[in-house]
Amino acid sequence: MSQSDKDRHEIRQLVENWALWRDAGDWDRFATVWHPHDGWMSATWFQGSATDFIKASRAGFENGVSILHFLGGHTADIGGDRAVAQTKMTINQRASVDDVEVDVVCTGRFYDFLARHEGHWTLVRRQPIYEKDRLDVVDPAASLTLDPGLLNQFPTGYRHLAYLQTKAGFTVKQGLPGLTGPAVEQLYSEGKQWLTEA
C-alpha cells in the first residue's frame, strides 16, 4: 500500500471514529481524534475548542440530548502533513417541539482540516456543510404547526434543525455554509489555503 493510500485509510478511519465514539459517549477515545492543541469545532449550536466541545457534548449526552451521525461517501486531498477531507453525513436529532416529539434529519458534509501530529492524522477543524433538512413527527397521529417567522430566520440547509435547537434552548449560529453561496465558497478557499501552506 502506498503512503498516500495509507494516509487516506487513516483519515477515513479517524472520521468514522469521530462519529462512533461521539455518539456512543466514549469521551476518552473521542478526545484522541482531535489535534491536542488546535482542535476546533463549528456546529449549529456550538463554536469553540475541541476540549469545550467534548465537555458540551458530554453534558448534553448525560442530560438526554439525542444527536446521532451517519456517514457516507468520503474523499481527502492531502498535501504533505496537511489534508482536507469531505464526508457525506446526516445529523439526526430527536427532541420535543411544543410538546410534540419530532425527528430532524439534516443532510450535508463534514469538511475537515487535518494535520499529522506525532506521526498520526488529527482533526484540527471541523466545519459541517448543511445541504438540506426535514422535520417529521415521531407519532403519525400527532400534528405540529411550525412558526414560519422563526423557521424562516435560518438558511434552507438547516432551518428545521435550527428550529428544533432554538426551541430546545440553544443559540444557533446564522450564516453557516450550505450547498451553495458565499459561506461555502469561503470555506473552500480556506481549505485550498490550508493545503498550500503545508
CB 111 within 8 A of CB 126: yes
pLDDT per residue as tens digits for the range 133-163: 999 999 999 999 999 999 999 999 999 999 9
Question: Does a structural domain hold residue 198?
Answer: no
Q: What CATH number is associated with residue 60?
A: 3.10.450.50
Q: Is the pLDDT of residue 99 over 80?
A: yes
pLDDT per residue as tens digits for the range 117-132: 999 999 999 999 999 9
pLDDT of res. 184 = 98
Question: Does a structural domain hold residue 189?
Answer: no
Question: Does a structural domain hold residue 91?
Answer: yes
Percentage of residues of the chain with pLDDT beyond 70: 99
pLDDT of res. 128 = 98
Domain that holds residue 102: 3-176
Question: Does a structural domain hold residue 92?
Answer: yes
pLDDT of res. 1 = 78
Question: Does a structural domain hold residue 103?
Answer: yes
Mean pLDDT of the chain: 96
168 confidence band (pLDDT: 50, 70, 90): very high
Percentage of residues of the chain with pLDDT beyond 90: 96
Question: Does a structural domain hold residue 192?
Answer: no
How many folded domains does the chain comprise?
A: 1
pTM over 0.85? The answer is yes
More confident residue, 197 or 77: 77
CB 190 within 8 A of CB 111: no
CB 133 within 8 A of CB 159: yes
Host H or E run for residue 165: helix 159-167
Q: Is 183 exposed, middle or buried (CB count within 10 Å of its CB: 0-12, 13-18, 19+)? A: middle
pLDDT of res. 51 = 97
